[in-house]
């Protein structure tokens, strides 16, 4: 649930402005449901036309409660339905115009066959190549290039793990800043080394005969992965001398 400040009593511009939020306040309102959201992500969604906050005379962004709710809907549609931003924008614009439109459907895999996704469909654990392209908003040539650099691995059956959507989306977003796939090979190599280290730690548990112990291995792997991600982020920030929100 979003927690946004309500406007105070009164009339005119002052009363209207009292209900507006800074980008930092928007970040705090969204983080309960979307802990990974950042100010950069909010700015990126604005640049893509998903939200249009007001600007003060000095250029600061001011978001309305409606803007925050729209951002939350965008983030949910990305997270739960793997929809590309262009499709999300067109859908939300149509809804706001009062048009009766259905949530676009994205195929997922069940027993080798595509199954439509709707608003009630749970997140798919695997995704077909065509759906991966649509979800990340990329072309076939982009995906082929990223696979050539080892950033994504083409599966033998043509069906990707859902995490591939996150990888593809991030590679695509980094590309907007001039960071090319060849530059990301060092990050992929570091991730592989970190995964290898975690695997060494949990390998004895995974080989255990007790099913509960093997299940504990998976939980331990997730915990270690989360810690590794936090450490990596902290090391990068420390090296750059910056602090992310």
- The CA–CA distances, whole Å, from 103 to 30, 50, 71, 108, 111 equal 22, 16, 16, 15, 24
Whole-model pTM above 0.85? Answer: no
DSSP class of 110: E
Q: What is the reported pLDDT for 15?
A: 39
Q: What is the pLDDT of residues 32-52, one digit of tens each?
A: 888 888 888 898 889 888 999
- The CA–CA distances, whole Å, from 201 to 56, 140, 188, 190, 214 equal 53, 37, 20, 17, 13
Q: What is the pLDDT of residues 180-217, one digit of tens each?
A: 999 999 999 999 999 999 999 989 888 888 878 878 88
Write down the residue that tokens 């082929």 correspond to: 144
């Amino acid at each position: 649930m979003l927690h946004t400040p309500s406007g105070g009593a009164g009339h005119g511009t002052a009363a209207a402005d009292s209900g507006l939020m800074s980008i930092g306040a928007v970040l705090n309102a969204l983080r309960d449901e979307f802990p990974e959201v950042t100010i950069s992500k909010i700015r990126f969604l604005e640049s893509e036309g998903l939200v249009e906050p007001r600007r003060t005379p000095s250029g600061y962004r001011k978001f309305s409660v409606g803007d925050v709710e729209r951002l939350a809907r965008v983030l949910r549609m990305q997270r739960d339905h793997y929809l590309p931003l262009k499709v999300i924008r067109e859908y939300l614009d149509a809804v706001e115009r009062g048009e009766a439109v259905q949530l676009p459907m994205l195929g997922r895999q069940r027993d080798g066959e595509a199954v439509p996704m709707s608003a009630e469909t749970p997140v798919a654990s695997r995704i077909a190549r065509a759906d991966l392209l649509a979800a990340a908003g990329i072309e076939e040539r982009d995906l082929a290039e990223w696979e050539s650099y080892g950033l994504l691995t083409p599966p033998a059956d043509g069906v990707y793990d859902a995490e591939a959507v996150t990888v593809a989306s991030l590679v695509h977003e980094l590309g907007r800043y001039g960071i090319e796939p060849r530059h990301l090979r060092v990050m992929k190599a570091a991730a592989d080394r970190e995964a290898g280290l975690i695997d060494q730690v949990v390998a004895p548990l995974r080989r255990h005969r007790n099913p509960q112990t093997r299940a504990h291995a998976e939980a331990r792997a997730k915990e270690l992965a989360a810690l590794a991600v936090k450490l990596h982020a902290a090391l990068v920030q420390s090296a750059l001398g910056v602090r992310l929100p």
